[in-house]
């Protein structure tokens, strides 16, 4: 049963048993041929010495012929080039024929040469039985062959013994028949063992093959994991993780060898617009091409990596002589290699890059410093309209440190009341009276001193606290309105600055409404100056401005110029005032062109029936000229710098007096401030 199971297994393993058997048999046949010849010669020799030498010679010749046939058969089979299963089965069949002939040949020995002569009979029987056991061993792979040889030999010997009519011979005859049974059993077991061995070998081979293929698959998986972990799939450049390791090792090597190298950070200009307008596929093509051009720009050792998005990095060695000149040459070479037309599927676009360069060791002794400094340089290059590359500039570093410090300190300063609101007076040209105050933020930083309002505002945006900053100024402005009213200046308004971006970020109208309610002030005295040149054209921003206007809060356009955005505000918003940019006003007495511009803006104000305020008035001449042009309100250092509360009080005491001596209609009861400086007009 074992043999059958094993055979089924072999078939499952794709092994053909007859093929294995034919292989083993043909090999055994060729190996045992010399021994077989020796035994045949021995039988012939012993028999030749007997009564029929010619018969012995004839038998010897016949056996030689049979064995030659069997030898040729095995040899031919073994030399077949592409042995198929059919060849093997045919060989086995022919072997059976050869085996049967051999068996019959040996079976002739007892009737022909065996007689009672003991000294002849014993060696012949010994050789014949030896042949049978040898056949079982050598034909272990294929039992039918050993049995087809052995059965005739054993039966012929047993029959011959029986015919000798002697008790011992009869007993020997039975022993020989028993021996045949033993041979049968042994041949069966040997054949099973052979099949089992073939089976085990096949399984071992299969296991080895599967281990090999598993190993190959594991190797492939490891390789692809390595690829994924270290390389960017789009450009095949090193990715950020691999790049930081490589930068570390460049730095270690350079430190040991005391050499220099450049770290260059690369950013594609306006890449977002490529993605937005041409789609991500075009964006991917651009990234891949930039990667190709970056790598192709260097002939010697270098490393190019994609850090993510449209950010790339390059490391390249640089010689110690003429350091600055070489940095410039390398950066310009890289820019020239990458910049230029990019041919996409349907169109050609022009791509430019910006570079930030840091040299080791002078621009940073650690990877963190090098990266941070190259990043700053890149930022500076991106902002510059003139340069496409920048090397680390230590003033940039100081500025970045300061920015970080301000960002960190602003929320704390705001909570601890370290920020102040200063006020600058605004004067009505017709009367010379104080018409209002502009609230301006101030921060005296313990380390960096006075921080400019645009820096404070920018820090508030970076720290995502514009609402808190505006809330603080608004609260102060409303408080100031109350103080003014209590001091009798009921008609003096307060203006404060708002970034149009704030309108999208939080509910400014609600903040204003709550503050007005808390302080109980007249919303018409609060003016919001919309700063910055960005037009607040989002529906949310326009809606917020409309709500503010409907609440009675006044709206002004700050830094008004003849630019498109300023004019567009007039279309989209219900504006109460425009404020002429101070760059047109300061010193304009000597600039006829600016005088024409100021007059044009005043004309726009008249056409829209809105007030025009001129800021940046520094001289009496400017003030007089503005009044002559018909400007209603002026503001500037000539009348007063921005002042903190106590200074403003002093300024008001010196310059503004409550003028209730001139009652005017229904305003008669309201005291009005008049200005000592009204003498200017
Ligand atoms: P702005 O609203 O146009 O304010 C007028 C600026 O001109 C003030 O600068 C003021 O000090 C300056 N100035 C006034 N008169 C003269 C003059 O005669 N000559 C010269 N050279 N300058 C004069 P400041 O206070 O540095 O404010 C700068 C800008 O920062 C402001 O311009 C405003 O846009 C913004 N800002 C100030 N405070 C705030 C705030 O609380 N929130 C927001 N969002 N922005 C603010
Ligand atoms: Mg302003
Ligand atoms: Mg302004």
**478 domain-assigned:** yes
Which one, of 657, 664, 589, 652, lies nearest residue 619 by Cα? 589
Residue 258 belongs to domain with CATH number = 3.30.70.270
Q: Which ligand neighbours the alpha carbon of 454 most closely?
A: 1
Q: Is the pLDDT of residue 439 over 70?
A: yes
pLDDT level of residue 626 (50, 70, 90 thresholds): very high
Task: Work out the percent of the chain whose per-residue pLDDT is above 90.
Answer: 60
Q: Is the CB of 428 under 6 A from ligand 1?
A: no
Distance CA 207, CA 624 (A): 103
- In ligand 1, the atom with minimum distance to the C-alpha of 440 is 38
Q: Residue 480's CB: how many other CB atoms inside 10 A?
A: 22
For 467-526, write each residue's pLDDT tens digit: 999 999 999 999 999 999 999 999 999 999 998 889 888 999 999 999 999 999 999 999
Between 667 and 599, whose confidence is greater?
599
> Residue 250: is it exposed, middle or buried by C-beta count within 10 angstroms (0-12/13-18/19+)?
buried
pLDDT in tens, 102-145: 999 999 998 888 775 666 778 888 999 999 999 999 999 999 99
Q: Nearest-CA neighbor of 509 among 486, 472, 533, 540?
A: 540
Long-range contacts (CB closer than 8 Å, 24 or more residues apart) made by 384-388: 388/335, 388/339, 388/352, 388/353, 388/354, 388/355
**CATH assignment at residue 514:** 3.20.20.450
Q: Are residues 418 and 343 in the same domain?
A: no
- Among the candidates 331, 357, 392, a domain finishes at 392
Q: Is the CB of 471 under 6 A from ligand 1?
A: no
DSSP 545: H
* pLDDT one-digit tens code per residue, 511-526: 999 999 999 999 999 9
Q: Is the peptide bond between 349 and the residue preceding it cis, with omega within 30 degrees of 0?
A: no
> CA-CA distances (angstroms) from residue 21 to 34, 96, 141, 196?
21, 13, 5, 12
More reliable by pLDDT, 392 or 282: 282
More confident residue, 335 or 396: 335
DSSP percent split of the chain into helix, strand, coil, nearest 5: 60, 15, 20
Choose the final residue of a domain: 392, 421, 443: 392
Tell me the pTM: 0.56
State pLDDT tens for residues 333-353: 999 999 989 888 778 888 899
Q: Do residues 581 and 545 both lie within one domain?
A: yes
- Cβ of 618 below 6 Å from ligand 1: yes
668 pLDDT tier (thresholds 50, 70, 90): very low
Q: Are residues 339 and 423 in the same domain?
A: no
Same-domain check for residues 572 and 434: yes
> Lowest-pLDDT range, 307-316, 371-380, 530-539, 545-554?
530-539
- Do 263 and 384 lie in one domain? The reply is yes
Asked if 510 and 467 sit in the same domain, the reply is: yes
- pLDDT higher than threshold 70 for residue 99: yes
Q: How confident is the model at residue 205 (pLDDT cuts 50, 70, 90)?
A: confident
Burial tier of 564 (Cβ tally within 10 Å: 0-12, 13-18, 19+)? exposed
**Would you place residue 594 in the very low, low, confident or very high pLDDT band (cuts 50, 70, 90)?**
very high
* Residue 225 in this model has a pLDDT that exceeds 70: yes
Q: Mention every residue, 6+ apart, whose C-beta is less than 8 A from residue 35.
A: 134
Query: Which numbered atom of ligand 1 lies nearest the CA of 529?
Result: 2
Looking at the structure of the chain, the number of domains it has is 3
Give the least confident one: 40-44, 297-301, 353-357, 665-669.
665-669
Q: Would the pLDDT of 678 be above 60?
A: no
Reported as a pLDDT band with limits 50, 70 and 90, residue 266 is: very high
Same domain for 154 and 173, yes or no, is yes
Atom of ligand 1 nearest to the CA of 499: 44
Q: Is residue 100 part of a domain?
A: yes
Q: Comparing 563 with 25, which gets the higher pLDDT?
A: 25
CA 423/CA 421 separation, integer angstroms: 7
Are residues 18 and 137 part of one domain? Answer: yes
Q: With a 6 A CB cut-off, is 425 part of the ligand 1 pocket?
A: no
Q: Residue 669's pLDDT is what?
A: 36
The mean of the pLDDT values for the chain is 88
Residue 220 lies in a domain: no
Q: Closest Cα to residue 456, out of 425, 413, 422, 486?
A: 413
Which is nearest to 535 in space by CA: 564, 555, 512? 564
Q: Is 526 helix (H, G, I), strand (E, B) or coil?
A: strand
**Residue with CA closest to ligand 1 atom 38:** 440
- Report if residue 92 sits inside a domain: yes
Q: Please, what's the b/e burial string for 69-80 (b: 16 or more CB within 10 A of its CB; e: otherwise)?
A: ebbebbeebeee
For residues 408 and 388, membership in a common domain is answered with no
> Across residues 577-585, what is the average pLDDT?
94
* The predicted structure's pLDDT at residue 671: 41
How far, in Å, CA of 635 to CA of 677, rounded? 13
Residue 302 has pLDDT above 70, yes or no: yes
More confident site: 608 or 397: 608
How far apart are the C-alpha atoms of 163 and 632, rounded to whole Å? 156
Mutating to test ligand 1, I would choose from 436, 528, 531 the residue with most ligand atoms within 8 A of its C-beta, which is 531
Nearest-ligand number for the alpha carbon of 531: 1
Least reliable range by pLDDT among 123-127, 167-171, 300-304, 507-511 = 167-171
Listed range (34-38, 227-231, 312-316) with the worst mean pLDDT? 227-231
Task: Indicate if 429 and 378 belong to the same structural domain.
Answer: no
Q: Is position 589 within any domain?
A: yes
Does residue 634 have its Cβ closer than 6 Å to ligand 1? no
pLDDT average, residue stretch 652-665 = 56
Structural domain for 165, as ranges: 4-208
Whether ligand 1 lies within 6 angstroms of the CB of 581 is answered as no
* Residue 677, phi then psi, degrees to nearest 5: -75, -5
What phi, psi does 633 have (nearest 5°)? -130, 140
Strands 526-530 and 493-498: parallel
45 domain-assigned? yes
Weakest mean pLDDT among 54-68, 421-435, 524-538: 524-538
| Contact call for residues 336 and 228 (beta carbons, < 8 A) | no
Q: Name the residue with higher pLDDT: 174 or 83.
A: 174
Same domain, 9 and 44: yes
Say what the pLDDT of residue 677 is. 53
Is residue 346 domain-shared with residue 449, that is, in the same domain? no
**What band does 666 get if pLDDT is binned at 50, 70 and 90?**
very low
First-to-last alpha carbon distance for the chain, in angstroms, is 128
pLDDT at residue 3, as a whole number: 52
pLDDT at 229: 85
Cα of 521 to ligand 3 centre, how many Å? 25
CB atoms within 10 A of CB 375: 18
Please indicate, yes or no, if residue 668 is contained in any of the structural domains: no
440 in ligand 1 pocket by Cβ < 6 Å?
A: yes
Residue 225 lies in a domain: no
Assess whether the C-beta atom of 453 lies below 6 angstroms from ligand 1: yes
Of 392, 419, 443, at which residue does a domain stop?
392
How much is the pLDDT for 540? Answer: 83
């Amino acid at each position: 049963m074992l043999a059958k199971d094993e055979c089924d297994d072999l078939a499952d393993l794709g092994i053909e048993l007859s093929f294995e058997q034919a292989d083993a048999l043909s090999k055994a046949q060729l190996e045992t041929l010399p021994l077989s010849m020796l035994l045949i010669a021995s039988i012939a020799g012993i028999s030749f010495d007997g009564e029929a030498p010619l018969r012995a010679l004839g038998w010897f010749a016949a056996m030689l012929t049979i064995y030659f046939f069997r030898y040729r058969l095995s040899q031919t089979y073994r030399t077949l080039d592409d042995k198929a299963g059919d060849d093997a089965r045919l060989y086995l069949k022919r072997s059976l024929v050869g085996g049967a002939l051999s068996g019959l040949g040996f079976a002739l020995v007892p009737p022909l040469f065996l007689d009672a002569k003991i000294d002849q009979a014993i060696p012949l029987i010994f050789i014949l039985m030896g042949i049978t056991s040898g056949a079982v061993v050598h034909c272990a792979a294929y039992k039918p062959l050993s049995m087809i040889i052995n059965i005739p030999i054993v039966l012929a010997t047993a029959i011959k013994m029986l015919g000798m009519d002697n008790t011992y011979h009869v007993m020997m005859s039975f022993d020989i028949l028993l021996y045949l049974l033993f041979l049968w059993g042994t041949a069966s077991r040997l054949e099973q063992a052979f099949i089992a061995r073939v089976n085990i070998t096949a399984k071992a081979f299969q296991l080895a093959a599967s281990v090999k293929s598993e190993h190959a698959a594991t190797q492939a998986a490891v390789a692809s994991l390595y690829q994924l972990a270290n390389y960017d799939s789009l450009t095949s450049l090193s990715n950020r993780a691999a790049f930081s390791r490589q930068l570390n090792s460049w730095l270690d090597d350079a430190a040991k060898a005391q050499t220099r190298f450049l770290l260059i950070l690369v950013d594609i200009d306006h890449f977002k617009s490529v993605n937005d307008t041409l789609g991500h596929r075009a964006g991917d093509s651009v990234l891949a091409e930039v990667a190709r051009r970056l790598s192709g720009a260097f002939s010697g050792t270098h490393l190019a990596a994609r850090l993510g998005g449209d950010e790339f990095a390059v490391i390249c060695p640089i010689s110690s002589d003429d350091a600055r000149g070489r940095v410039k040459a390398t950066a310009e070479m890289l820019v020239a290699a990458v910049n230029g037309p990019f041919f996409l599927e349907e169109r050609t676009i022009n791509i430019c890059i910006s570079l930030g360069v840091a040299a080791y060791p002078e621009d940073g002794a650690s990877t963190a410093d090098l990266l941070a400094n190259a990043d700053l340089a890149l930022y500076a290059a991106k902002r510059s309209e003139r340069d496409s590359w920048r090397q680390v500039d230590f003033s940039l570093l100081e500025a970045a440190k300061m920015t970080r410090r301000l960002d960190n300190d602003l929320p704390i300063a705001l909570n601890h009341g370290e920020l102040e609101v200063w006020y600058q007076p605004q004067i009505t040209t017709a009367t010379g009276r104080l018409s209002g105050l502009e609230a301006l933020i101030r921060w005296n930083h313990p380390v960096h001193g006075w921080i400019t309002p645009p820096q404070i505002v920018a820090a508030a945006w970076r720290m995502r606290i514009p609402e808190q900053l505006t809330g603080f100024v608004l609260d102060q402005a409303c408080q100031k309105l109350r103080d003014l009213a209590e001091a009798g200046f009921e008609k003096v308004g307060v203006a404060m600055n708002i970034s149009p971006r704030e309108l999208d970020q939080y509910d400014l109208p609600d903040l204003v409404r709550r503050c007005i309610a808390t302080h109980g002030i007249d919303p018409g005295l609060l003016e919001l100056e919309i700063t910055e040149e960005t037009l607040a054209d989002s529906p949310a921003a326009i809606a917020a401005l409309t709500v503010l206007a409907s609440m009675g809060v006044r709206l002004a356009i700050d830094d008004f110029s003849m630019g498109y955005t300023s004019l567009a505000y007039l279309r989209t918003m219900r504006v109460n005032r425009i404020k002429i940019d101070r760059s047109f006003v300061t010193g304009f007495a000597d600039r006829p062109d600016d005088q024409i511009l100021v007059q044009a803006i005043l004309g726009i104000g008249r056409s829209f029936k809105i007030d025009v305020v001129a800021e940046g008035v520094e001289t009496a001449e400017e003030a007089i000229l503005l009044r002559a042009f018909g400007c209603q309100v002026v503001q500037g250092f000539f009348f007063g710098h921005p002042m903190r509360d106590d200074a403003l009080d002093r300024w008001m005491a010196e310059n503004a007096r409550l003028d209730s001596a001139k009652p005017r209609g229904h305003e008669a009861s309201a005291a009005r401030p008049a200005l000592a400086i009204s003498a200017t007009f």
